[in-house]
Amino acid sequence: MVKKELLIAIDGPSSSGKGTIAKKLAAHFNIPCLNTGALYRAIAFLALENGCNLQNDEEKIIPLCQKITDLDLESPKLHNEQIGKAASIVAAKPKIRQAIFDLQRDFAQDGLAENSGAILEGRDIGTVILPNANHKFFITASADIRAKRRFNQLQQNGFEDVNYQEILQQIQKRDEQDKNRLTAPLKKAVDAMEIDTSDMDVDEVIAKILEVCI
């Protein structure tokens, strides 16, 4: 049985495993899960499709946020390296972040009302979106491990021409951008439990989290 008002915030850098962990927890508790990083990928995809300049056309990109719900956030077309780079750019734009702020909060509130809970994962969930979440976790891993995971994931999705060293460099660059952006930078909430998954499999991480949540 799900605890009353079970809100779980999961943050962490790219390819740390937080998405897989969030989905498994959501299935365990039978509550909805939102990958907020996919929202920024969707915005980036729509912006590129509409010929927007990611750096300079912030005002043109904002109306596109209303079309996010028309996209499949799990679609492979949103999860390639080009869109990942683009997402990092739009995610640093304060007005774009504000444009989907209510969408994320509404997801959590709807989850509470309809399913007694919700899980949101991203980079600023515990610090900005859901500062009052029941449970907060910061999922991390070494850059090398994350690059290997991303490399394997892309190959499994049919991107056979990917280069490991390029992926590693992209992850390191993304980390710097996420940590140093002025608006909602990536950081561990003071009351979040940090879990380094470098030497852990998914089931071990889930077990550790369930010890806290149950």
Q: Residue 183 belongs to what domain range?
A: 11-204
When computed from its CA atoms, the radius of gyration of the chain, rounded to whole angstroms, is 17
Residue 21 lies in a domain: yes
Cα 175 to Cα 91: distance, rounded to the nearest angstrom? 13
pLDDT of residue 4: 65
Contact 126, 138 (CB under 8 A): yes
The pLDDT of residue 135 is: 96
Q: Which of 180, 124, 174, 100 is nearest to 11 (CA)?
A: 124
pLDDT tens for residues 86-127?
998 998 899 999 999 988 999 999 999 998 999 999 999 999
pTM score: 0.89
Asked whether the beta carbons of 63 and 142 are under 8 A apart, the reply is no
**Quick one: pLDDT at residue 177?**
87
Q: Please choose, from the candidates 115, 142, 126, 109, the residue with its C-alpha nearest in 3D space to the C-alpha of residue 190.
A: 126
- The answer to whether residue 211 is domain-embedded is no
209 within domain boundaries: no
Residue 2 confidence (pLDDT): 44
Ranges under pLDDT 50 in the chain:
1-3
CA distance 70 to 208: 36
* Residue 188 counted as domain residue: yes
Residue 93 lies in a domain: yes
**190 belongs to a structural domain:** yes
d(CA 203, CA 75): 25
What angle, rounded to 10 degrees, do the helices at 101-115 and 36-49 form? 140
Domain count, the chain: 1
Tell me 189's DSSP state: -
210 occurs within a structural domain: no
User: Is residue 111 in some structural domain?
Assistant: yes
CATH number at residue 153: 3.40.50.300
